Amino acid sequence: MAQTKRRRVIASNWKMFKTQAETRAFFSAFAPLVAGATHCDIVVAPPFTAISAAAEAARGSNIAIGGQDVFWEKEGAFTGEVAPPMLVEGGCRYVIIGHSERRQSEETVAKKAKAALAAGLIPIVCVGELLAHREAGQTEVVCEKQFTGGPGALTPEEFSRILVAYEPVWAIGTGKTATPEIAAAAHRFLRKCAERKFSARLASALRILYGGSVKPDNIQGLMAEEELDGALVGGASLDAKSFAAIVNGCKAP
Ligand code: PEP
């Protein structure tokens, strides 16, 4: 497969942490620590209620804001949901879709990704197996199913505008990181799925982030793998110094 130089991305997922005041305090500490980081794109995904505060605090910086989920309709009687144009209005450029804590089905992942793209957002589409799948030797079967029904259901043009995050569910919030070799093998497999479904060119340009207990002390080992184009970080993204160490530690060797 032709090798393309892919720009790395370090994205956070704050989940249900941080008020608006805590968000502003985070940015005051974090923005100066990563102001010189030109080697990767940086994304912070706060809870919906803190998106505007984050966008305001990040204005003029190299930090983009993302939503943690989105709905596929523009408006309607959908209690608790947030529409793509609402995220854009709040200042988001990115949106996480299909996180294991939110995923319902491959079909809804594809609908959300299409709607997000139509609004100009960059979806970060998550896929990843449970521990039971890995132990049963089903990792590739599960990842292929999630890929085919989710990102694989997009048009080639839509697909060219998304990021994929490989997040083995057994590594999320557990402190158990996939080894760089395990992560790289899964990324290679997902890239093969992309090549089979779309083309070698699109597969080679696709940025695949790894997510699952990424920390300042394991980012360099993970990023030594060429297959890994960045990281999606939960717990370790809540602290400004720790997230900055991950951003600054993701430089290609
Ligand atoms: C996540 O929630 O996407 C995640 C990767 O969490 P953590 O880094 O805490 O494992």
Whether residue 164 is predicted with pLDDT greater than 80 in this model: the reply is yes
Span 8-30, mean pLDDT? 98
Told to judge if 39 belongs to the known catalytic residues of this protein, a careful annotator would answer: no
* Banded pLDDT at 176 (limits 50, 70, 90): confident
Catalytic residue among 144, 167, 225, 227: 167
pLDDT at site 2: 47
Q: Pick left, alpha or beta for residue 24 (phi over 0 → left; psi -120 to 50 → alpha; otherwise beta).
A: alpha
Any ligand 1 atom below 6 A from CB of 234:
yes
Any ligand 1 atom below 6 A from CB of 168:
no
Span 128-132, mean pLDDT? 95
Told to judge if 99 belongs to the known catalytic residues of this protein, a careful annotator would answer: yes
Any ligand 1 atom below 6 A from CB of 233:
yes
Whether residue 4 is predicted with pLDDT greater than 90 in this model: the reply is no
Structure tokens, 248: 């600054």
pLDDT at site 253: 56
Span 167-182, mean pLDDT? 93
Specify the residue with its C-alpha closest to ligand 1, atom 7: 234
> What is the rounded CA–CA span in Å between residue 64 and residue 191?
25
pLDDT at site 62: 97
Pocket test for ligand 1, best of 100, 213, 219 (most atoms within 8 A of CB): 213
Structure tokens, 90: 């709040």
Any ligand 1 atom below 6 A from CB of 128:
no
The alpha carbon of 252 and the centre of ligand 1 are apart by a number of angstroms equal to 22
pLDDT at site 251: 82
Whether residue 81 is predicted with pLDDT greater than 50 in this model: the reply is yes
Which has the closest alpha carbon to 196: 241, 243, 156? 156
Span 206-221, mean pLDDT? 97
